[in-house]
């Protein structure tokens, strides 16, 4: 391994970086919430196309030239420079702090690629909230690496502005237009996408809310506040009503499995095991707040995992028409969004897995569908698929 110092440069071909290679950033700062980002810049060092900003809310750029995998305080960018368009001249890798703290608190950290390591610590900085760690850039027809280590006074939003990007609220955009950059939430785009959240300094995660709702984007005019269930195909069941339920299956650390759902009046409990509670049952879809499951994050050490799912209790579903969305809100963190974006006529959708991984809360997008088949209900198939080992009997909410 060759150690680079600040300002040192080298050709990627000489550093063992050819074809597809990883760029790894490890930012060691206990108690700080650090975002790691790659900016794809044009010849004027500007983010002229927001699709080439790769970060927690947009984990890849067009053509998968850069694909992000996140860990606790770390990031791996799988990089294939041959897939970048000619308009992208530089990839800038940066780290920024969300909330309190400065880069002065940084412990032994590094950026690694090929046979090179660039080390940095808080001793290299003052009270900056961000740092431009390193760059990959084109020169004379070749790609090169520069160890930068330059402190930056603002956080991620200021970095975005510095590179000519604009922070905007999520909006519907034409299919061929660059996707707007939103720093306000985390969207798990593909099945298997994950995000890991560290517990608060004082321990625990607080009151976690899992919300099922609709996200309608009408063409022009004010947003229409229609119910989530009314967006199903034909907008009604044979008896004029569709009833969709939010639910979960869980497993405690001691191995005890169970379920929380309106069916069978299994509402759970927030203050006692399983520390998971379903609030109400919206049968009409007219409640603007949707349906909610609350998880006692201060007792999260007792929970091993849970699968959040939803199913049609009455009526026929066309999931492709729902534009449904589940948002997982952890106090003090950006909301995690999972969209029900795969079509199916099955009655049940496993939306997301929430797991206790060494005390951290990990969310994984599932969006898998289940239907009654071969004598097994959708509930039984979901239980078998994820190894909960539950038994079921016919139930009712009446």
The whole-number pLDDT of residue 15 equals 95
Q: Do domains 2-163 and 186-216+241-386 have the same CATH topology?
A: yes
> How many CA atoms lie less than 13 Å away from 60 in the CB half-sphere?
14
Tokens 């799988």 locate to 78
Three-state secondary-structure class, residue 299: helix
Burial of 47 (0-12, 13-18, 19+ CB in 10 A): buried
User: Would you list the DSSP string of 307-332?
Assistant: EEEEEEEES---GGGT-EEEEEE-TT
The whole-number pLDDT of residue 161 equals 87
Instruction: Output the furthest CA–CA distance in the chain (Å, rounded).
Output: 73
How do 66-71 and 9-11 pair as beta strands? Answer: unpaired
Pick 2-163's CATH classification: 3.40.640.10, 2.60.40.10, 3.40.50.80, 2.60.60.30. 2.60.60.30
Task: From first to last of the 398 residues of the chain, give the pLDDT tens digit.
Answer: 899 999 999 999 999 999 999 999 999 887 788 889 999 999 999 998 888 999 887 888 988 999 998 877 789 999 999 999 999 999 999 999 887 889 999 999 999 999 999 999 999 888 899 999 999 999 999 999 999 999 988 888 888 888 988 765 443 333 334 445 656 678 888 888 998 888 766 678 999 999 887 533 323 333 333 333 333 333 333 343 445 689 999 999 999 999 999 878 899 999 999 999 998 754 444 444 678 999 999 999 999 999 999 987 554 455 655 567 898 988 877 889 898 876 677 888 999 999 999 899 999 999 999 988 878 889 999 999 999 999 876 654 44
User: Would you list the DSSP string of 129-160?
Assistant: SEEEEEEEEEETTEEEEEEEEEEESS-HHHHH
Contact 291, 370 (CB under 8 A): no
The whole-number pLDDT of residue 95 equals 93
The whole-number pLDDT of residue 138 equals 95
Q: Angle at Cα 25 formed by Cα 24 and Cα 27, nearest 5°?
A: 155
The whole-number pLDDT of residue 289 equals 61
Q: E strands along 49-204, which residues? A: 53-54, 66-71, 74-80, 90-98, 109-113, 116-120, 130-139, 142-152, 186-187, 194-197
The whole-number pLDDT of residue 234 equals 34
Contact 10, 116 (CB under 8 A): yes
The whole-number pLDDT of residue 241 equals 43
The whole-number pLDDT of residue 265 equals 84
The whole-number pLDDT of residue 230 equals 35
The whole-number pLDDT of residue 119 equals 95
- What are the CA-CA distances from residue 154 to residues 29, 87, 95, 185, 352 (Å)? 17, 27, 11, 19, 34
Superfamily holding 186-216+241-386 = sav2460 like domains (2.60.60.30)
Angstrom distance (rounded) from CA 367 to CA 319: 11
For the chain, the structural domain boundaries read: 2-163, 186-216+241-386
Contact 334, 186 (CB under 8 A): yes
Angstrom distance (rounded) from CA 268 to CA 340: 25
Which string of b and e fits 275-290 if b means at least 16 CB within 10 Å?
bbbbbebbbebeeeeb
Tokens of 226: 């229609």
Indicate if the alpha-carbon torsion angle 361, 366, 369, 370 is positive or negative: negative
Tokens of 51: 């699709």
């Amino acid at each position: 391994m060759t150690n680079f110092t600040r300002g040192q440069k080298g050709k990627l071909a000489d550093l063992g970086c050819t074809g597809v290679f990883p760029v790894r950033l490890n930012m060691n700062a206990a108690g700080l919430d650090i975002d790691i980002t790659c900016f794809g810049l044009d010849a004027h060092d500007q983010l002229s196309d927001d699709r080439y900003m790769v970060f927690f809310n947009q984990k890849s750029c067009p053509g998968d030239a850069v694909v992000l995998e996140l860990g606790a305080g770390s990031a791996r960018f799988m990089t294939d420079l041959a897939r970048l368009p000619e308009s992208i001249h530089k990839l800038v890798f940066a780290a920024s702090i969300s909330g309190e703290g400065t880069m002065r608190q940084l412990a032994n950290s590094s950026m690694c690629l090929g046979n090179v390591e660039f080390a940095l610590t808080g001793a290299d900085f003052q009270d900056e909230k961000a740092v431009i760690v390193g760059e990959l850039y084109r020169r004379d027809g070749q790609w090169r690496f520069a160890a930068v280590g330059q402190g930056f006074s603002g956080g991620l939003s200021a970095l975005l502005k510095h590179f000519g990007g604009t922070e905007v609220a999520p909006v519907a955009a034409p299919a061929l237009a660059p996707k707007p950059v939103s720093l306000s939430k985390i969207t798990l785009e593909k099945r298997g996408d994950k995000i890991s959240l560290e517990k608060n300094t004082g321990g625990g995660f607080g009151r976690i809310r899992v919300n099922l709702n609709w996200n309608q984007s009408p063409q022009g005019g004010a947003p229409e506040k229609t119910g989530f269930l009314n967006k199903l195909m034909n907008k009604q069941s044979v008896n004029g009503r569709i009833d969709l339920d939010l639910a979960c299956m869980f497993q405690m650390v001691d191995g005890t499995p169970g379920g929380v759902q309106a069916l069978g009046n299994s509402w759970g409990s927030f203050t006692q095991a399983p520390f998971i509670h379903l609030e109400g049952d919206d049968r009409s879809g007219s409640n603007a707040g949707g349906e909610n499951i609350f998880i006692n994050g201060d007792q999260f050490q007792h929970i091993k995992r849970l699968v959040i799912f939803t199913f049609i209790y009455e009526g026929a579903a066309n999931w492709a028409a729902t534009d449904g969305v589940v948002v997982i809100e952890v106090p003090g963190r950006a909301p995690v969004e999972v969209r029900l974006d795969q079509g199916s006529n099955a009655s049940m959708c496993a939306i997301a897995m929430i797991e206790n991984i060494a005390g951290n809360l990990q969310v994984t997008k599932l969006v898998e569908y289940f239907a009654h088949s071969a004598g097994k209900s959708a509930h039984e198939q979901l239980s078998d698929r994820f190894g909960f080992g539950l038994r079921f009997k016919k139930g009712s909410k009446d």
